[in-house]
Amino acid sequence: MQNYRVLGMMSGTSLDGLDLACVDFFQENGNWQFHLVAAETVSYSREWTDRLRNAIHFSGLEITRTDVAYGHLLGSLSSEFLSKHHLKVDLVSSHGHTIFHQPDEGFTLQIGNGTALASHHFCPVVFDFRSLDVSAGGQGAPLVPYGDFLLFSNYAGCLNIGGFANLSVNSDFPAAWDICPANYVLNILANRLNHTYDKDGLISRSGSIIHSLLSQLESNSYYLRKAPKSLGSEFVMSEMMPLMDAYSGIEDLLRTFTEHIALRVAQDMKMVEGPVLVTGGGAKNSFLMERIESISQRKLERPTDEIIDFKEAIIFAFLGLLRFLNLPNIDGRITGSNRFLSSGNISLPGL
């Protein structure tokens, strides 16, 4: 039985740090299985948090500088992780950090220069997973559902609540889409109270719903579009924050946006018949989970904390392995490119 050990790295728009997951993958009876060997989240310095958050406003030259510097940061952090845990891997797979995502305009950008990253390792490095699908007419997102379909097929659906909430429907005709912004907005608001995030939704719980704002959020035309569809930080800055900034009271804004997430998730979960697995940082927001389950009248399945925290890093490790094996890692029925692709650039190690 062939075993592959892969280091997966994921940085989400919520900017809560870099997730690293070392995973063993193998096949049993023709089905892929995995074992999580080691995992941790490395928080960004204040300088890197600000740099990544503001990169959308940078010049082309400064984005290029940041791309290379961030690639070296990823390389340094990943090599330190492997040394700390006394691990050797066959492959490194990096999602990078999304700066732009405008698939309808034909482009997406995840920085974390792959060759800069590869200079820190002596094994192949896979990176830039989304560009090929966008070039083929797809959304380039969400990509995790293909891994959900192969690794978590015992669930009817997989809900991830990170910077954005997205849902995968596992069936003979799998589907997936970004539901709405989530922790990306909640964290911006919590930061205004000098909190990194709203732990357990305690601040939100103390607030009151601003019904006029909630009505405005709910009426966004994105929610009327059919899948495939995806969201990026540009949507938050142009469509969400101007509405939020017209109101005061951070506690009330957090309460209102939490309700918005819960309403959107509950609405989209109607598409899933059967158990739904929930992961991502939002799965630990007890107030948000209460609201989703109350509105949907459904119980969400919570896995171990390791799966909640590192599922996306695990799946990007898997997508990198599939790319290295020249196997499909994108289902165009999900993204809209309407074909299977083996996507990602590969940087081979030096001699």
Residues 160 and 40 in one domain: no
Containing domain of residue 192, as a range? Answer: 156-300
Global confidence as pTM: 0.93
Residue 334 lies in a domain: yes
Strand 125-127 and strand 91-94: the pairing is parallel
Mean pLDDT of 141-157: 93
H/E segment holding residue 66: helix 60-84
Residue 12 lies in a domain: yes
Distance from C-alpha of 226 to C-alpha of 224, rounded to nearest angstrom: 7
Report the share of the chain in percent with pLDDT over 90.
Answer: 95
Mean pLDDT of 300-311: 96
Residues 282 and 314 in one domain: no
Is the pLDDT score of 229 beyond 70? yes
pLDDT band at residue 226 under the 50/70/90 scheme: very high
Alpha carbon separation from 291 to 182, 284, 307 (Å, rounded): 14, 13, 22
Query: pLDDT at position 13, please?
Result: 85
Query: pLDDT at position 129, please?
Result: 98
Is the pLDDT score of 179 beyond 80? yes
Residues 230 and 296 in one domain: yes
Residues 337 and 280 in one domain: no
Mean pLDDT value across the chain: 96
Residue 150 lies in a domain: no
Is the pLDDT score of 311 beyond 70? yes
Residues 100 and 21 in one domain: yes
Residues 272 and 176 in one domain: yes
Residues 333 and 228 in one domain: no
With beta carbons less than 8 A apart as the criterion, state whether 278 and 159 touch: yes
Residue 323 lies in a domain: yes
Mean pLDDT of 200-216: 98
Residues 295 and 160 in one domain: yes
Alpha carbon separation from 74 to 3, 69, 235, 243, 351 (Å, rounded): 25, 9, 27, 35, 21
Residue 149 lies in a domain: no
Residues 11 and 121 in one domain: yes
Query: pLDDT at position 350, please?
Result: 65
Query: pLDDT at position 349, please?
Result: 79
Mean pLDDT of 155-166: 96
pLDDT band at residue 351 under the 50/70/90 scheme: low
With beta carbons less than 8 A apart as the criterion, state whether 217 and 256 touch: yes
Residues 179 and 311 in one domain: no
Residue 119 lies in a domain: yes
pLDDT tens readout for residues 16-54: 899 999 999 999 998 999 999 999 999 999 999 999 999
Q: How many domains does the chain have?
A: 2
For residue 330, the domain's CATH number is: 3.30.420.40
Query: pLDDT at position 231, please?
Result: 95
pLDDT tens readout for residues 46-63: 999 999 999 999 999 999
∠ CA 246-160-2, rounded to 5°? 150
Query: pLDDT at position 120, please?
Result: 96
Residue 191: Cβ-neighbour burial (10 angstroms; 0-12, 13-18, 19+): middle
Query: pLDDT at position 206, please?
Result: 98
Is the pLDDT score of 165 beyond 90? yes
pLDDT tens readout for residues 70-114: 999 999 999 999 999 999 999 999 999 999 999 999 999 999 999
Residue 151 lies in a domain: no
Say whether the peptide bond before residue 124 is cis (omega within 30 degrees of 0): no
Query: pLDDT at position 298, please?
Result: 96
Residue 85 lies in a domain: yes
Residues 228 and 251 in one domain: yes
Query: pLDDT at position 1, please?
Result: 67
Query: pLDDT at position 83, please?
Result: 98
Query: pLDDT at position 14, please?
Result: 83
Mean pLDDT of 260-273: 97
Count of residues making up the chain:
351
Question: Residue 10 has which token pair?
Answer: 């994921």
Distance from C-alpha of 214 to C-alpha of 148, rounded to nearest angstrom: 32
Residue 271: Cβ-neighbour burial (10 angstroms; 0-12, 13-18, 19+): middle
Mean pLDDT of 263-272: 97
Is the pLDDT score of 203 beyond 90? yes
Residues 262 and 337 in one domain: no
